């Protein structure tokens, strides 16, 4: 669970955090005030994974393409969970 910047209680679950984009604020489970992620934090955490996925396109081997795409996706999700803080709307 991720802490709410308003009330300090758990605001959203891990799964919801993964899908939380900068354009989609969600209400906190505890206080129902809106929390969101900023575009710059979101972009910062998305770019390394996106770069790996783009790099995958330059390989001829299917294994490399699928392997790197999966690594890129995993990187995108984990960096999103680690780097992107919840902020007040
Ligand atoms: Zn709250």
- Predicted local distance difference test score (pLDDT) of residue 34: 96
**Domain parsing of the chain, residue ranges:** 2-88
Percent of the chain exceeding pLDDT 90 equals: 91
Report the DSSP beta bridge partners of residue 3.
10
Please give the model's pTM, rounded to 2 decimal places.
Answer: 0.84
State the average pLDDT over residues 37-63: 96
DSSP one-letter string for 25-47: -EE-TTT--EEE--HHHHHHHHH
The band of 23, judged by pLDDT with boundaries at 50, 70 and 90, is confident
Q: Could you tell me the distance, in angstroms and rounded to a whole number, from the CA of residue 63 to the centre of ligand 1?
A: 44
Q: Could you tell me the distance, in angstroms and rounded to a whole number, from the CA of residue 71 to the centre of ligand 1?
A: 33
State the average pLDDT over residues 22-48: 95
Q: Could you tell me the distance, in angstroms and rounded to a whole number, from the CA of residue 23 to the centre of ligand 1?
A: 19
Q: Could you tell me the distance, in angstroms and rounded to a whole number, from the CA of residue 33 to the centre of ligand 1?
A: 6
């Amino acid at each position: 669970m991720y802490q709410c910047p308003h009330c300090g209680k758990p605001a959203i679950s891990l799964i919801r955090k993964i899908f939380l984009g900068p354009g989609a604020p969600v209400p906190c489970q505890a206080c129902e005030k809106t929390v969101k992620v900023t575009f710059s934090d979101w972009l910062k955490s998305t770019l390394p994974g996106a770069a790996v996925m783009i790099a995958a396109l330059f390989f001829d081997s299917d294994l490399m393409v699928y392997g790197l795409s999966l690594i890129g996706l995993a990187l995108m999700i984990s960096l999103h969970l680690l780097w992107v803080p919840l902020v007040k709307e």
